[in-house]
Amino acid sequence: MIFLIGDVQGCCNALDRLLGDIGFSPSRDRLVVLGDLVNRGPDSLGVLRRLRDLGNAATCLMGNHDLHLLAVAQGVRRAHRTDTLNDILEAPDREAWLEWVRSRPLATLEAGWLCVHAGVVPAWDVAQTLHLAHEVHTMLQGSGRGDFLQSMYGNDPAQWNEQLHHHDRWRFIVNTLTRIRFCTPDSRLELATKEGLGATPEGYWPWFDVPGRRTQGHPLAFGHWSTVGLLQREDLLSLDTGCVWGGALSAMRVDGGRRELCQVSCADSPTIPTPPTPAARPD
């Protein structure tokens, strides 16, 4: 069986209960976690341990909170007041954990589903999305990653262009794969708005509803957008159901042409922080 799981964000207890409820066996099953493995929840290091122990049975994507961990560890980004990353940053084997996080892909294809953390721009098809994700993945393994992490944050360039290069190119790819919510048909991002579909800025669309999206019709799964929550369409799955904000952690079985949803509530964790307003949430 193959399962896709939404944003875990350090909620290890919920992850353990979800894997138990779906009867996950690493010798028989596979799962894809759609990014944001860490941060805001009570046990980020526990989540990394649990997922790493699954070995090749689990593919864990890179999300914006995972990149934030790398930037804080590199000393190029200040920790937020509500970050819960110290268990990783202060671990005696922290470098091994950071290396494991750094080696996570930004996109993957599983059981016919294109899986990303946040989304894609309409100009990219499936093959290009995977190629660009691998480009950034390779860069993050190299000696130039520190320079990129230093320049990773920012909303420019706002529009995709094949001629983009070096940090501008990688920043756009990262912003798309880990932060996108709204964009235009000509692949211009709007990264300020964090609310749900009712807050769509004038002239923009939710990225998955943009006319002419080249990945239209190909099964695509993403997380990231907790203010949208669970969204199920024939060729689209949104699986960030706000676990860390007191919602649920969701898994969807997708093999064999079937879908089976399993959710566990996270509201029983006394250490989960009070959710900020959507505008104050990190991207």
Q: Which of the residue ranges 157-166, 237-246, 268-277 would you say has the lowest mean pLDDT?
A: 268-277
Which pLDDT score, from 0 to 100, does residue 267 have? 64
pLDDT (average), residues 87-103? 97
pLDDT at res. 272: 40
Contact 122, 213 (CB under 8 A): yes
Nearest to 199 by CA among 227, 178, 179: 227
Segment 247-269, tens digit of pLDDT: 999 999 999 888 999 999 986 44
Q: Taking CA 146 as the corner, what is the angle to CA 143 and CA 149, rounded to the nearest 5 degrees?
A: 135
Judged against a pLDDT cut of 50, whether residue 278 lies above it is answered with no
| Structure token digits, residue 54 | 């699954």
Find the angle CA(64)-CA(68)-CA(140) to the nearest 5 degrees. Answer: 85
Q: Does domain 2-280 have CATH number 3.60.21.10?
A: yes
Q: Does the pLDDT at position 280 exceed 50?
A: no
CA distance 283 to 16: 26
Predicted confidence (pLDDT) at residue 177 exceeds the cutoff of 80: yes
Average pLDDT over residues 101-125: 98
Q: Sorting pLDDT into bands at 50, 70 and 90, what band is 283?
A: low
Instruction: Say how many CA atoms lie within 13 Å of 152 toward its Cβ.
Output: 27
In whole angstroms, give the CA distance from residue 38 to residue 112: 26
Torsion, Cα of 109, 103, 187, 169 (10° steps): -140
Ranges of each domain in the chain: 2-280
Residue 239 has what pLDDT?
Answer: 98
